[in-house]
Structure 1
Amino acid sequence: MKLAPFEFGGAIVVITGAASGMAEQVARDLWALGSTLFLIDRDSEGLAVLAQQLGSSPGQKLHTITADLASDDGVPTILEQVRARTSSVDLLVNVAGVAIGGSFSDLTEQEFDWVMRVNFAAPVALCRGLLPLLRKPGGHIANVSSVYGLIAPPGHVAYVSSKFALRGFSEVLRAELAGSGVTVTTIFPGGVRTKIAANARVAAAIPADAVAAARETYARNLTYPVQSAARDIVRAIRHRRPRLLIAFSAKLPDVVARLLPVSNLRVLARLRPTRTRNAAAVLRADD
């Protein structure tokens, strides 16, 4: 089934992680394009500030939902509030994500599960819960994976596992929904200039001085403007692209991983400064 480009004007859109980063900018762009928004985040103050800045617009509605995707009642709260306010949804954008730096031996079971719950289980549950509400034909789902859903560097075991899982789920879902009238985009951001370094968590076993130095170095390598990333996302959704690589820092690893599925990390390491490699081994954060 060949579908027309996605129309944002009048669309009902659900966005997770909307209080900051790429999700916040996507929300701003879609509001400007005339969408009705359900904005979800655990940061109630951030949501309130964003809602105030967006203001009101004729024919549009803005809903904020405070929910922690790591909690047992996070997804049920979202689904309950969305269903109470609308009988249909046009677009689901799963952006919210968390991470913790550390190797498998560094992390506790609880730390690992926390990342998997927010980054993988919650998007899957939201897709399951909202899929019956997605308009057919024309509905769309966009799931944000990561460059670490393309390559698997050591020191990021929980984050990498969650983003590879979300990538696989999204690609299978796209294939299973082919012909149904609902399309899926999987998004792989590279070094987007957000607060991910500042928000990073690390395993307790990693020394504090190493963490501080890694934050500073890692932050300097986040160079792609968040406004540009949001525009890329909106464009990919509009054209219902199956896959979006954001920034050269995602495009290069994608090519290298395809050409060198075994030795890609060794090749990529040669292309990055030593300080950046050391920082990346300590940190990976949520958007």
Structure 2
Amino acid sequence: MFSSKVVLITGASSGIGAATAVRFAAEGAKLALTGRNVENLQATAQKCEEKNQLKPLIIKANLGLDDDVKNIINTVITIYEKLDVLINNAGVFFISNPEDVDMKEYDEIFSTNVRSIYYLTNLAIPHLIKSKGAIVNVSSLAAIRPFAACIPYCMSKAALDHFTRCLALQLAPKQVRVNNINPGVIPTDIHRRAGIPAEQIQLIYERCKDSHLLGRAGTVEEAAEVIVFLASEKSSFVTGETLLMDGGCHLSSATL
């Protein structure tokens, strides 16, 4: 399905990004994988290579640095000479208390979850127009359903949803489709990296039995399937969509 297609995935070192890379590899894609942890990126690349015998391009990058963002696009085009699909997956999450202001965390969330995506996407647009490509952004249920303990994160994902809609409107005449997924709870490293204790993380997953109508958390593989679908010709008449994949959590009255 993606044979000869070039796919760039941010945050590909773990979680949804890594699973998405492996899924694209299974479809024959030529991959460019970015992240901060080179060792983890190499592990993802190895799994991808086992799927299609193609060695992914690894680009170490901090999306908070403009020079790194520019280097991502420049490197992809230098090596592959085109770009067909951009997956904006990288993101950060913090538990925050509005009564205990930490603007450094706020700035980091918006720098990674909004600003870097805006910049990287705009640099990629000329190449995606040439290929009549696709963009898939990884948002969150938190963009739609409010959570008191992570207000800046919710705000950043709501901004990403509207960015998706606005960009879809702008790029539709150029035949570039723009969509995003809004996952519910999916076990990844994002909670651990936010400093949440292991026992509390496990409690979050346990609560999914009540908060998610399907009675469980999602998986990174399920998220990857939806991302690949939105990037593929199977969704060729879909653009501007923010697709909830949350096991029905948005319909539930239970709290996470």
Shorter-chain TM range is 0.7 to 0.9
Q: Provide the residue aligned with 2:106 in structure 1.
A: 112
Separation of aligned partners in 2, 1:49 and 1:170: 30
Letter in 1 for 2:203: T
Per-residue deviation at 1:61?
4.8
Q: Provide the residue aligned with 2:48 in structure 1.
A: 54
Q: Provide the residue aligned with 1:187 in structure 2.
A: 181
Separation of aligned partners in 2, 1:79 and 1:99: 25
Encode CA deviations 1:144-168: one digit per residue, 9 max, x unaligned: 1110111222121110111011111
Q: Which ranges of structure 2 fall in alignment gaps of 5 or more residues?
A: 209-215
Encode CA deviations 1:144-194: one digit per residue, 9 max, x unaligned: 111011122212111011101111111100011122111111211112232
The normalised TM-score by structure 2 is: 0.86
The normalised TM-score by structure 1 is: 0.77
Which region of structure 1 is more displaced relative to structure 2, 159-168 or 68-77?
A: 68-77
**Secondary structure of the equivalent of 1:34?**
coil
- CA contact 1:136–1:181 (8 Å) conserved in 2: no
Equivalent of 1:100 in 65, 82, 94: 94
Residues 1:72 and 1:136: Cα distance change in structure 2 (over 3 Å): closer
**Secondary structure of the equivalent of 1:131?**
helix
Separation of aligned partners in 2, 1:35 and 1:122: 24
Which region of structure 1 is more displaced relative to structure 2, 58-67 or 12-21?
A: 58-67
Per-residue deviation at 1:225?
2.0
Higher relative helix content: 2
Separation of aligned partners in 2, 1:142 and 1:55: 23
Q: Provide the residue aligned with 1:215 in structure 2.
A: 201
When the two chains are superposed, the root-mean-square deviation of aligned CA atoms in Å is 2.2
- CA contact 2:32–2:57 (8 Å) conserved in 1: yes
Encode CA deviations 1:255-283: one digit per residue, 9 max, x unaligned: x5xxxxxxxxxxx5x423xxx4xxxxxxx
- CA contact 1:99–1:201 (8 Å) conserved in 2: no
Per-residue deviation at 1:60?
4.2
Q: Provide the residue aligned with 1:178 in structure 2.
A: 172
- CA contact 1:136–1:182 (8 Å) conserved in 2: no
Is 2:49 the counterpart of 1:28?
no
- CA contact 1:89–1:135 (8 Å) conserved in 2: no
- CA contact 1:119–1:163 (8 Å) conserved in 2: yes
Q: Which ranges of structure 1 fall in alignment gaps of 5 or more residues?
A: 1-6, 203-210, 257-267, 277-287
Per-residue deviation at 1:73?
3.2
- CA contact 1:197–1:219 (8 Å) conserved in 2: no
| Count of residues paired in the alignment | 243
Encode CA deviations 1:44-68: one digit per residue, 9 max, x unaligned: 1101112223337878451000111
Separation of aligned partners in 2, 1:75 and 1:18: 15
- CA contact 1:137–1:181 (8 Å) conserved in 2: no
Per-residue deviation at 1:197?
2.4
Q: Provide the residue aligned with 2:245 in structure 1.
A: 246
- Say which one has the larger Rg: 1
Is 2:83 the counterpart of 1:83?
no
Which region of structure 1 is more displaced relative to structure 2, 57-66 or 26-35?
A: 57-66
Q: Provide the residue aligned with 1:15 in structure 2.
A: 9
Q: Provide the residue aligned with 1:144 in structure 2.
A: 138
